């Protein structure tokens, strides 16, 4: 882990705003931060697309996102953006929210990014404009190792979006488990870091209880295959989880 990724140790935990996608890399990065006494995650920050009322890019319903945050016992901060959002609009809306947290004494935001250098630079520059710094708990870790660690820790996730140019549509809606990893084509990153697939975490050691959902239909939209997750009762979720 790159030491420059983190702030200096202080006597009080450093407050962190976590930029949360709802997926496995976010969950693993959050896990690392919450296990480290140097840091205190104060809230999750997620972008939701206005027209669809779903997590941007991942396509997960806001209701499930809210249940996820509740199960993680963390406040949820939602920034709404329009479909096909421009960088200018995204940066303006995110900037307003980040500024509010900075005014409250939060100087760091964390991300689950692993190795995309241009994305890291983009995030760092946006935060620097308002005097904040970025943290990357998983930075430069081998993605195959991270994928195995996620599963070994007891987290569970389901794929909600796949790029059909590199993966068959049948991967949408599958649980992220050892068989999923074994079935990935050799050119696909084990964590989907190049955008090959996105996921929704529904259970794990940091969850007070599993997030209730049922697998819905798989649809193609804007060049991607999305698996719709439908809210369900807790008992239905438990039954579903054990049958996967």
pLDDT digits (tens, 9 = 90+) for 22-49: 999 999 999 999 999 999 999 999 999 9
Reported as a single tens digit per residue, the pLDDT across 102-125 is: 999 999 999 999 999 999 999 999
pLDDT, tens digit, for every residue of 151-188? 999 999 999 999 999 999 999 999 999 999 999 999 99
* Residue 44: HSE in the Cβ half-sphere, 13 Å Cα cutoff: 27
Is 131 a residue whose pLDDT tops 60? Answer: yes
pTM of the model: 0.89
Helix (H) or strand (E) holding 231: strand 224-231
What does the pLDDT read at residue 11?
72
Burial of 241 (0-12, 13-18, 19+ CB in 10 A): middle
Angle at the Cα of 84 from the Cα atoms of 79 and 86, rounded to 5 degrees: 70
Distances in whole angstroms, Cα of residue 15 to Cα of each of 10, 77, 116, 156: 11, 15, 25, 27
For β-strands 133-135 and 108-110, DSSP reports them as parallel
Closest CA to 157 of 238, 211, 113: 211
Q: How far apart are CA 88 and CA 31, in angstroms?
A: 31
Please give the pLDDT value at position 241: 43
Domains, the chain, in order of start with CATH, read: 11-135 (3.40.50.620), 143-243 (no CATH)
* 76 sits in which H/E element: strand 76-81
φ and ψ at residue 167, rounded to 5 degrees: -135, 145
- Residue 209 is predicted with a pLDDT of 97
Answer whether residue 75 shows pLDDT above 50: yes
Residue with token string 């081998």: 142
Please give the C-alpha separations between residue 36 and each of 6, 71, 122, 180, in angstroms, as whole numbers. Answer: 11, 20, 26, 30
Q: What separation in angstroms does the CA of 170 have from each of 16, 65, 229, 232?
A: 37, 24, 15, 23
Give the whole-angstrom CA distance, residue 167 versus residue 184. Answer: 8
Summarize the confidence of residues 64-85 as an average pLDDT: 97
Structure confidence by residue, pLDDT tens digits, 182-238:
999 999 999 999 999 999 999 999 999 999 999 999 999 889 999 999 998 543 433
């Amino acid at each position: 882990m790159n030491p420059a990724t983190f702030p200096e140790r202080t006597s009080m935990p450093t407050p962190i705003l976590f930029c949360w996608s709802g997926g496995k890399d976010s969950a693993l990065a959050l896990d690392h931060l919450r296990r480290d006494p140097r840091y205190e995650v104060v809230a999750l920050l997620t972008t939701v697309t206005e027209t669809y009322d779903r997590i941007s890019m991942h396509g997960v319903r806001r209701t499930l996102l809210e249940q996820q945050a509740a199960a993680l016992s963390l406040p949820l901060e939602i920034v709404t953006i329009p479909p096909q959002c421009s960088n200018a609009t995204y940066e303006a809306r995110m900037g307003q929210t980040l500024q509010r947290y900075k005014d409250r004494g939060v100087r760091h935001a964390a991300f689950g990014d692993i190795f995309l250098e241009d994305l890291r630079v983009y995030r760092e520059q946006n935060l620097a404009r308002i005097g904040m710094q970025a943290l990357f708990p998983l930075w430069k870790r081998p993605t195959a190792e991270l994928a195995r660690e996620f599963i070994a820790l007891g987290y569970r996730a389901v794929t909600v979006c796949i790029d059909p140019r590199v993966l068959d549509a049948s991967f949408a809606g599958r649980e992220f488990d050892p068989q999923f990893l074994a079935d990935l084509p050799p050119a696909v990153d084990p964590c989907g870091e190049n955008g090959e697939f996105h996921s929704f975490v529904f259970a794990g050691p940091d969850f007070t209880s599993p997030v209730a959902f049922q697998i819905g239909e798989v649809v193609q939209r804007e060049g991607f295959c999305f698996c719709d997750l439908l809210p369900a009762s807790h008992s239905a979720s438990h039954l579903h989880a054990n049958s996967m």
